[in-house]
C-alpha cells in the first residue's frame, strides 16, 4: 500500500523458500541459545547476550520475513526513525530516573559515576 | 491575459456542480470519501467542542471574579478547569487546523484528487467523534477533577471522578490523530502532481508534514500512558503506585513525551497558515523559503527532546533538569527563525489589511510574546518561581489562543471563499478580529502579572489583593467570547447571502486558487503541472497589479 | 503499514521505557519476579510464534507466485492455529497458573514469601506487557480470518496481494515484540543456580 505502490514499479522480489526456511532455523537456534545461555552464569553478560540475540532475531525477521532487505529507502528510514525516537524516550527518561539520587555539588558531575556503575552491573 | 480582458470576464460565478451539491442527503455526507466534505465534518465537530470548552472557560472566569469564588464549590471548579483543558487541548486544538483546513487543502495544494487513503480519512472522523462523545458523556456525568494532565497518584488512586471514561475518550481520539497523520504523510510523499517538487510546496504543506510526524511518533505514547493509568485505576495497583515501588514521575515522563510535542501539533499548522497569509496579503514571496521549511521540521524534531521542562519542580533530578533546560532554549530558535522570516516578508510588501491579515499580524505579535515568555520558563531558576502560577497559564494561552486559534480563524477566513464559494462581509470580519485581539490581551496580559505576583493556577479561591487583575481578565474573557461568536454568525450568513467569490478573490498564488470555488468533487479537471515556485507573485511595481474585487484596500 | 508499525513501536515503547526504568531501579525484585515465570512455556511460545511467522511468509509467497488459493488458505490457517496455540499455552499454562498461585496484581494477589511489593511491580509489567501483546495477537487472528475469507473469494493474485503483505508485516511485528519480551521478562538475572 504505502511502499509498494507508486514508486517501486519493479517486479516484487520473490524470496526463495529455502531462504525463509534458513531464517526460520536461525531464529529457532537463536531461541534455543538464549534459553540455554540463561542457565549459565555469566553475571551481567547474561542480559547482554540475551538482548544481542534478540536484536539479531529481530533483524532477521525485519530483513527477510518483512522484505526490508529488498526495499531500501523510505521504509528503512521509517523503522530507524521509530527506534531512534524510542531511544530518545528511554534515554532522556532514564536521565532523570537514574540520577535522582546522585549527590549534587560540590564534588562535581563525576560524583555520579559510581551510581551509574552500581545500577548497571 | 491582459488587464482589460481580465476585467471583462471578472464577474465571479459559482460552478453549477461542486463538492457541496454533488450529492444530497445526510448519507452522502456521513458516508462521504471526499476529503473536502470530511474537512467540513471535522469543522462542525470541533466547533461544537470549542463551544463546550469555551463555556467551561466562561464559567471559570465568572467564578474567579470574586476572591472566594463566585459560582462554584472548589470541587466543581476543579472539574471546570479540567474539562476546559481536556476539551480544548484534545478535542479542539489538536485536530483543529490539521483535520479541517489540512484535510480540505492538502490535496488541493499539491494537485491531487484526494488524500492517499480516503476511507481511512472517514474512519478517522468517526473515531474522533466516538472519542469526543465518550469524553462529553464523561463530562456530563460529572467530569474529572484531575486537571487535563491526569497526574497520578491522584488520578489513579484517589480521585472519585470519571477518569477512565474521559481518558478512554482521549485514547480513542488519539487514534484519529494517528490515522490522520499517517494519511497526510503518505499523501504528501506520494501524491504530489508533476512538477510539484518538495521545494515548490506551499509552506502550509511543510508545516502539516512536520505536524504529521509528531502525530505519528508522539500520540502512541499518550495512548499507552492512558492505558496504563486506566489499568492502575481499575486494578487499584499499577506501575505508578509508590506502594509497590512505582514512580508517579514516570507517568509525567510518559505523559509529557507526547504532550509537549502535542503543543507543537497545535502551533505548527498555525504557523503554516501564517506563512500563507503573510505572503498573500503582502503579495510577496516568502523570505527564506527553505529556512521556514526546515524550521518546521526542526521544531518537530526538537519538540521531542524538551518535555522535562514541565517537570522541573515536580521532583525531577536536577541533572535531567539541566539537560531539558538547555534543550528547551534550543527549541525557541526555529520558531524565532519563522518570526524573522515573516517579518522580512512583510518588509516592502504591498500590505492589505483584510481580516485574515489582521489575524496573521495578531498572531505574529502574540506568538512572539508567548514564545519569549516560554524562555523565562525554560530557565530553571525563574521556573521555580513561576511554575504552577498564572504566568504559565498566560504563556500557553498566548501561544494557543493568541497564536493557534488566531491562525485558525485567519485560515478559515482566508479559505472561506474556497470552501463555501461565498465571501463574508469583510467589515464585520475586521471588527471581530479587532475584538478578539483586544479581548484576548485584556484576558491574558493581567494573568502574566498575576503569575509573577504569585497567584497559583487551578485555585478556586485567591487572596483579595489579586482581585483587580482577575476582574480585568474576566472582563477581557467576555469580550473575547463576543469576538468568537460574531464570526459564527456572519460566516453562516455568508453561505447563503454572501457575494459569490469566484475562484481567486484574493488573487493569491497556490494551486487551490486555480480551481473554482467551491471546488468540484474531483478537485482538478486535469491534474496540473507545476512549473513555478511557491508564492511566485509578480514584482510589486508591475502595471497589471490587481485589486481585490469588492473590497476596499486600506 | 510501516508508518502504523512505527506508531506501534512507540506504543509498546512506552511500556518498554517504564520497564527499563524500573528494572534499573529495582533489579533484585525483578529477578525474584522473573523466577516465578516458567521458562519452558516462554521458550515454547517463542518457538510457536517463529513458526507462525514462517507460515505467514509462506502464505504471502504462495500468493506472489500465483499458487492456488487452497494453498494460501492452508498457510493462513496454519498461522492462525499457531497463534491460537500461543494464546492457549499462555492462558492455560501460564496465566491460569498465576491466578491460582496469587500472582496477578489487582485480581488475585497473595502477599508474603516471595510475593514482595517489588515482585508485584514486576508482575504488573509481566501482565500488562504480555496482555497488550496477547491483545494484539487476538486482533491479528481477526485480521487473518478476514484474509482467509478474502482468499476464498479469489481476491488475490500475483498482481494484487497487498492486504496479505501488510497483514504479514503486522503479524511479524507482533512476533518481534514477543522476541524481545521473552528474554526481558523470563530470563532476567539468568536461571543458573545461585541467580
What does the longest C-alpha to C-alpha distance in chain B come to? 81
Rounded distance, CA B425 to CA B494, Å? 8
H or E segment and range at residue B276: helix B248-282
Nearest CA in chain C to A62: C172
> What integer pLDDT is reported at residue A6 of this predicted model?
39
The pLDDT of A54-63, averaged and rounded, is: 91
> What integer pLDDT is reported at residue A4 of this predicted model?
40
Nearest CA in chain A to C187: A38
Q: How many residues belong to chain C?
A: 195
- Asked if B220 reaches chain C (Cβ–Cβ under 8 Å), the answer is yes
Does a structural domain hold residue C35? yes
Rounded distance, CA B328 to CA B305, Å? 8
> What integer pLDDT is reported at residue B247 of this predicted model?
87
Instruction: State the cell numbers at B264.
Output: 507543537
What count of other Cβ atoms lies within 10 Å of the Cβ of residue B524?
17
How close does chain B come to C35, measured CA to CA in Å?
Answer: 18
- Asked if C16 reaches chain A (Cβ–Cβ under 8 Å), the answer is yes
| Nearest C-alpha neighbor of B432 from the set B494, B482, B365, B357 | B482
> Rounded to the nearest 5 degrees, what angle is found at the Cα of B416, between the Cα atoms of B415 and B419?
90
Do C89 and B215 form a contact (C-beta atoms < 8 A)?
Answer: no
- Asked if A105 reaches chain B (Cβ–Cβ under 8 Å), the answer is no
Select from B221, B308, B319 the Cβ nearest to the Cβ of A102.
B319
- Cα-Cα-Cα-Cα torsion B431, B435, B436, B437, nearest 10 degrees, comes to 100
Peptide bond into B153 cis (omega under 30): yes
Question: pLDDT tens-digit profile of B450-475?
Answer: 999 999 999 999 999 999 999 999 99
**Testing the interface with A: which of B117, B303, B317 to mutate, by most A Cβ within 10 A?**
B317
Do C165 and A2 form a contact (C-beta atoms < 8 A)?
Answer: no
Domain that holds residue B427: 34-514
Domain that holds residue C173: 2-16+29-186
Does a structural domain hold residue B22? no
Give me the residue label for grid cell 529477578.
Answer: C31
**Testing the interface with A: which of C26, C52, C78, C179 to mutate, by most A Cβ within 10 A?**
C179
**Testing the interface with B: which of A75, A77, A82, A89 to mutate, by most B Cβ within 10 A?**
A89
Tens of pLDDT, residue by residue, chain B (554 residues): 444 444 445 677 777 788 888 888 888 889 989 999 999 999 999 999 999 999 999 999 999 999 998 888 898 999 999 999 999 999 999 999 999 999 999 999 999 999 999 999 999 999 999 999 999 999 999 889 999 998 988 888 888 888 999 999 999 999 999 999 999 999 999 999 999 999 999 999 999 999 999 999 999 999 999 999 998 888 888 888 888 888 888 899 999 999 999 999 999 999 999 999 999 999 988 999 999 999 999 999 999 999 999 989 888 888 888 899 999 999 999 999 999 999 999 988 889 999 999 999 999 999 999 999 999 999 998 998 999 999 999 999 999 999 999 999 999 999 999 999 999 999 999 999 999 999 999 999 999 999 999 999 999 999 999 999 999 999 999 999 999 999 999 999 999 898 998 889 998 888 999 998 899 888 888 888 888 888 888 776 554 555 555 544 44
Give me the residue label for grid cell 469580550.
Answer: B479
Q: Give chain C's domain count.
A: 1
Does a structural domain hold residue C194? no
**Partners of residue C23 in chain B, C-beta under 8 Å:** none
* pTM of the model as a whole: 0.89
What does DSSP assign to residue B113?
S
**Partners of residue A113 in chain B, C-beta under 8 Å:** none
How close does chain C come to B521, measured CA to CA in Å?
Answer: 28
Does a structural domain hold residue B550? no
How many whole angstroms from its chain centre is CA B139?
A: 22
Q: Which residues of chain C have pLDDT under 50?
A: none
Does a structural domain hold residue B278? yes
Contact partners, residue A45, CB within 8 Å, separation at least 6: none
Does a structural domain hold residue C22? no
Does a structural domain hold residue B236? yes
Do A38 and A46 form a contact (C-beta atoms < 8 A)?
Answer: yes
CA quadruple C70, C73, C75, C77: dihedral positive or negative? negative
- Asked if B189 reaches chain C (Cβ–Cβ under 8 Å), the answer is no
> What integer pLDDT is reported at residue A69 of this predicted model?
85
Peptide bond into B518 cis (omega under 30): yes
Select from A3, A21, A34 the Cβ nearest to the Cβ of C183.
A34
Does a structural domain hold residue B519? no
Rounded distance, CA B99 to CA B296, Å? 18
Does a structural domain hold residue B364? yes
- Give backbone dihedrals phi and psi of C108, rounded to 5 degrees, phi first: -150, 80
Does a structural domain hold residue C44? yes
**Partners of residue A35 in chain C, C-beta under 8 Å:** 39, 43, 187
**Partners of residue C38 in chain A, C-beta under 8 Å:** none
> What integer pLDDT is reported at residue B389 of this predicted model?
93
**Testing the interface with B: which of A92, A103, A107, A113 to mutate, by most B Cβ within 10 A?**
A92
* Contact between A92 and B250 using a beta-carbon 8 Å cutoff: no
The three state secondary structure string of B58-95 is: HHHHHHCCCCCCCCCCHHHHHHHHHHHHHHHHHHHHCC
Rounded distance, CA C178 to CA B333, Å? 41
> What integer pLDDT is reported at residue B552 of this predicted model?
43
Do B55 and B117 form a contact (C-beta atoms < 8 A)?
Answer: no
| Nearest C-alpha neighbor of C172 from the set C89, C59, C85 | C59
CATH number where C37 lies: 1.20.120.80
Rounded distance, CA B530 to CA B533, Å? 8
| Nearest C-alpha neighbor of A78 from the set B129, C10, B204 | C10
| Nearest C-alpha neighbor of C108 from the set C116, C94, C118, C98 | C98
How close does chain B come to C28, measured CA to CA in Å?
Answer: 12
Instruction: State the cell numbers at B272.
Output: 503554516
Does a structural domain hold residue B491? yes
| Residue spans of alpha helices (H) in B454-528 | 467-497
In DSSP notation, B127-194 reads HHHHHHHHHHHHHHTT---STTTT-TTIIIII--S-HHHHHHHHHHHHHHHHHHHHHHHHHHHH-PPT
Give me the residue label for grid cell 477566513.
Answer: B413
Rounded distance, CA A68 to CA C187, Å? 29
Q: What are the helix and strand counts (H, E) for chain C? A: 7, 2
Contact partners, residue A73, CB within 8 Å, separation at least 6: A3
CATH number where B257 lies: 1.20.210.10
Select from C1, C2, C24 the Cβ nearest to the Cβ of A98.
C24
How close does chain B come to C68, measured CA to CA in Å?
Answer: 30
Rounded distance, CA C21 to CA B246, Å? 10
How many whole angstroms from its chain centre is CA B272?
A: 11
Rounded distance, CA B125 to CA B120, Å? 9
Does a structural domain hold residue B21? no
**Partners of residue A88 in chain B, C-beta under 8 Å:** 304-305
In 3-state terms chain A splits into helix, strand, coil percentages (rounded to 5) of 70, 0, 30
* Contact between A15 and C61 using a beta-carbon 8 Å cutoff: yes
> Rounded to the nearest 5 degrees, what angle is found at the Cα of B359, between the Cα atoms of B355 and B365?
145
Give me the residue label for grid cell 494561552.
Answer: B397
| Nearest C-alpha neighbor of B500 from the set B7, B12, B10 | B12
A2 pLDDT higher than 70 = no
Give me the residue label for grid cell 540463561.
Answer: A38
Instruction: State the cell numbers at C19.
Output: 520497564
* Contact between C22 and B219 using a beta-carbon 8 Å cutoff: no
How close does chain A come to C3, measured CA to CA in Å?
Answer: 7
Q: Give chain B's domain count.
A: 1
> What integer pLDDT is reported at residue A8 of this predicted model?
41
> What integer pLDDT is reported at residue A111 of this predicted model?
56
Amino acid at each position: 500500500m504505502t511502499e509498494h505502490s507508486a514508486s517501486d514499479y519493479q517486479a516484487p522480489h520473490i524470496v526463495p523458500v529455502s531462504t525463509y526456511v534458513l531464517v526460520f532455523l536461525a531464529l529457532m537456534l537463536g531461541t534455543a541459545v538464549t534459553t540455554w545461555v540463561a542457565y549459565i552464569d555469566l553475571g551481567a553478560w547474561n542480559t547482554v547476550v540475551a538482548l544481542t540475540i534478540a536484536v539479531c532475531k529481530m533483524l532477521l525477521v525485519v530483513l527477510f520475513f518483512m522484505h526490508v532487505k529488498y526495499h531500501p529507502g523510505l521504509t528503512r528510514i521509517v523503522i530507524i526513525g521509530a527506534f531512534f525516537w524510542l531511544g530518545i524516550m528511554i534515554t532522556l527518561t532514564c536521565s532523570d530516573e537514574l540520577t535522582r539520587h546522585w549527590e549534587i555539588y560540590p564534588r562535581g558531575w563525576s560524583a555520579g559515576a559510581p551510581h551509574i556503575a552500581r545500577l548497571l552491573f | 491575459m491582459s488587464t482589460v480582458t481580465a476585467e471583462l470576464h471578472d464577474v465571479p460565478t459559482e460552478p453549477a456542480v461542486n463538492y457541496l451539491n454533488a450529492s444530497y442527503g445526510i448519507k452522502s455526507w456521513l458516508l462521504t470519501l471526499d476529503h473536502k466534505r470530511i474537512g467540513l465534518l471535522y469543522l462542525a465537530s470541533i466547533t461544537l467542542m470549542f463551544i463546550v470548552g469555551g463555556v467551561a472557560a466562561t464559567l471559570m472566569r465568572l467564578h474567579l471574579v470574586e476572591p472566594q469564588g463566585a459560582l462554584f464549590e472548589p470541587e466543581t471548579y476543579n472539574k471546570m478547569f479540567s474539562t476546559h483543558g481536556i476539551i480544548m487541548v484534545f478535542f479542539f486544538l489538536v485536530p483543529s487546523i490539521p483535520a479541517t483546513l489540512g484535510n480540505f487543502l492538502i490535496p488541493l495544494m499539491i494537485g491531487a484528487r484526494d488524500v492517499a487513503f480516503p476511507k481511512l480519512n472517514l474512519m478517522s472522523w468517526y473515531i474522533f467523534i466516538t472519542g469526543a462523545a465518550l469524553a462529553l458523556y464523561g463530562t456530563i456525568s460529572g467530569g474529572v477533577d484531575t486537571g487535563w494532565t491526569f497526574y497520578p497518584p491522584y488520578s489513579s488512586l484517589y480521585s472519585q471522578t470519571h477518569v477512565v471514561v474521559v481518558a478512554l475518550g482521549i485514547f480513542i481520539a488519539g487514534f484519529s490523530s494517528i490515522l490522520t497523520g499517517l494519511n497526510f504523510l503518505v499523501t504528501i510523499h506520494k501524491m504530489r502532481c508533476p512538477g510539484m517538487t518538495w521545494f515548490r510546496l506551499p509552506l502550509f504543506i511543510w508545516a502539516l508534514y512536520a505536524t504529521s510526524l509528531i502525530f505519528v511518533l508522539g500520540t502512541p505514547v499518550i495512548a499507552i500512558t492512558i492505558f496504563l493509568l486506566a489499568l492502575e485505576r481499575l486494578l487499584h495497583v499499577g506501575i505508578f503506585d509508590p506502594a509497590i515501588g512505582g514512580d508517579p514521575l514516570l507517568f509525567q515522563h510518559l505523559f509529557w513525551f507526547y504532550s509537549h510535542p502535542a503543543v507543537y501539533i497545535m502551533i505548527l499548522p498555525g504557523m503554516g497558515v501564517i506563512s500563507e497569509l503573510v505572503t498573500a496579503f503582502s503579495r510577496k514571496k516568502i523570505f527564506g523559503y527553505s529556512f521556514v521549511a526546515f524550521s518546521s521540521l526542526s521544531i518537530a524534531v526538537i519538540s521531542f527532546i524538551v518535555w522535562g521542562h514541565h517537570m522541573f519542580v515536580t521532583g525531577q533530578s536536577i541533572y535531567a533538569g539541566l539537560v531539558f533546560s538547555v534543550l528547551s532554549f534550543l527549541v525557541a530558535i526555529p520558531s524565532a527563525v519563522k518570526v524573522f522570516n515573516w517579518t522580512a516578508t512583510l518588509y516592502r510588501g504591498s500590505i492589505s489589511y483584510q481580516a485574515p491579515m489582521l489575524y496573521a499580524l495578531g498572531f505574529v505579535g502574540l506568538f512572539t510574546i508567548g514564545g519569549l515568555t516560554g524562555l523565562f520558563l525554560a530557565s530553571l531558576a525563574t521556573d521555580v518561581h513561576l511554575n504552577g502560577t498564572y504566568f504559565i497559564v498566560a504563556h500557553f494561552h498566548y501561544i494557543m489562543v493568541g497564536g493557534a486559534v488566531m491562525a485558525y480563524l485567519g485560515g478559515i477566513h482566508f479559505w472561506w471563499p474556497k470552501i463555501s464559494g461565498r465571501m463574508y462581509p469583510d467589515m464585520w470580519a475586521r471588527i471581530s478580529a479587532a475584538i478578539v485581539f483586544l479581548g484576548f490581551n485584556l484576558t491574558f496580559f493581567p494573568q502574566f502579572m498575576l503569575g509573577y505576583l504569585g497567584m497559583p493556577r487551578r485555585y478556586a479561591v485567591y487572596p483579595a489583593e489579586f482581585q483587580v487583575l482577575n476582574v480585568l481578565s474576566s472582563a477581557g474573557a467576555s469580550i473575547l467570547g463576543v469576538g468568537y461568536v460574531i464570526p459564527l454568525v456572519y460566516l453562516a450568513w455568508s453561505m447563503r447571502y454572501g457575494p459569490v467569490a469566484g475562484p481567486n478573490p484574493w488573487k493569491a498564488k497556490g494551486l487551490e486558487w486555480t480551481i473554482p470555488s467551491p471546488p468540484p468533487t474531483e478537485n482538478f479537471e486535469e491534474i496540473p503541472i507545476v512549473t513555478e515556485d511557491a508564492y511566485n507573485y509578480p514584482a510589486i511595481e508591475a502595471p497589471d497589479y490587481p485589486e481585490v474585487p469588492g473590497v476596499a484596500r486600506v | 503499514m510501516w508508518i502504523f508499525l512505527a506508531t506501534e513501536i512507540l506504543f509498546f515503547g512506552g511500556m518498554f521505557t517504564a520497564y527499563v526504568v524500573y528494572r534499573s531501579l529495582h533489579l533484585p525484585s525483578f529477578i525474584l519476579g522473573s523466577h516465578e515465570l516458567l521458562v519452558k512455556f516462554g521458550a515454547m511460545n517463542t518457538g510457536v510464534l517463529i513458526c507462525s511467522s514462517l507460515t505467514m511468509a509462506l502464505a504471502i509467497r504462495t500468493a506472489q507466485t500465483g499458487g492456488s488459493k487452497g494453498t494460501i488458505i492452508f498457510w493462513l490457517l496454519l498461522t492462525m492455529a499457531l497463534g491460537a496455540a500461543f494464546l492457549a499455552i499462555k492462558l492455560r499454562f501460564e496465566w491460569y497458573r498465576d491466578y491460582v498461585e496469587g500472582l496477578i496484581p489487582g485480581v488475585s494477589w497473595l502477599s508474603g514469601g516471595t510475593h514482595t511489593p517489588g515482585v508485584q511491580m514486576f508482575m504488573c509489567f509481566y501482565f500488562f506487557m504480555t496482555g497488550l501483546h496477547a491483545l494484539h495477537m487476538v486482533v491479528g487472528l481477526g485480521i487473518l480470518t478476514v484474509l482467509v475469507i478474502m482468499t476464498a473469494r479469489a481476491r488475490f493474485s500475483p498482481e494484487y496481494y497487498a492486504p496479505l503483505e501488510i497483514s504479514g508485516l503486522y503479524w511479524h511485528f507482533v512476533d518481534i515484540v514477543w522476541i524481545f519480551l521473552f528474554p526481558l521478562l523470563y530470563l532476567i538475572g539468568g536461571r543458573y543456580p545461585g541467580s
